[in-house]
Amino acid sequence: MNIKEDYVSFETAKLLKEKGFEEPTMHHFSADGTKRKFQQAHYPEDIAQPTMQMAMKWLREVHEIVIVIEPYDSYEQERYEFTIYKRHDNDTFEWDMVDVLNSLFVGYEKCAESAIDYCLRNLI
């Protein structure tokens, strides 16, 4: 088996940049969506392309939003659903489940991308 890293899409990368994501990454996009590797010239207008895990960690550590992805029982094909938790506005360690659409996604990565996108558009 050849396991590879999964990166966010260009649209999600643009949303991350809009919301303040400024972490260094090995991959990025030019402003027109062309993929570049870190070893190439890095311009200020470039858009970082983090892995999905890095984007989810940024949401957790910077915005106190946790994405939980779970398999959904289905006899037809492998499907996943996500639940999003956000920390209370006070200093407790309590988390609130955020209401999300009851959508099922074919594939873990599709579910993760959708959950990240949901958080960026609706919670930050």
Q: What is the pLDDT of residue 63?
A: 93
Domain range for 97 is: 10-122
2 domain residue, yes or no: no
Segment 61-67 mean pLDDT:
93
Q: How many CB atoms lie within 10 A of CB 122?
A: 11
5 domain residue, yes or no: no
pLDDT, tens digit (0-9, with 9 covering 90-100), for 11-61: 999 999 999 998 988 898 988 998 877 656 567 788 999 999 999 999 999
Amino acid at 116: I
pLDDT, tens digit (0-9, with 9 covering 90-100), for 98-112: 766 667 888 899 999
Is the model more confident about 89 or about 116? 116
Closest of 56, 54, 72 to residue 64, by C-alpha: 56
In whole numbers, what is the pLDDT of the chain averaged over residues?
86
Q: What is the pLDDT of residue 45?
A: 83
Q: Which residues of 75-91 are buried (b: 16+ CB within 10 A; e: fewer)?
A: eeeebbbbebebbeeee
Is the model more confident about 5 or about 54? 54
Q: How many CB atoms lie within 10 A of CB 23?
A: 12
Tokens read off for 84: 């999003």
How many independent structural domains does the chain possess? 1
Q: What is the pLDDT of residue 100?
A: 64
Share of the chain above pLDDT 90, in %: 48
Confidence of residue 72 (pLDDT cuts 50, 70, 90): confident
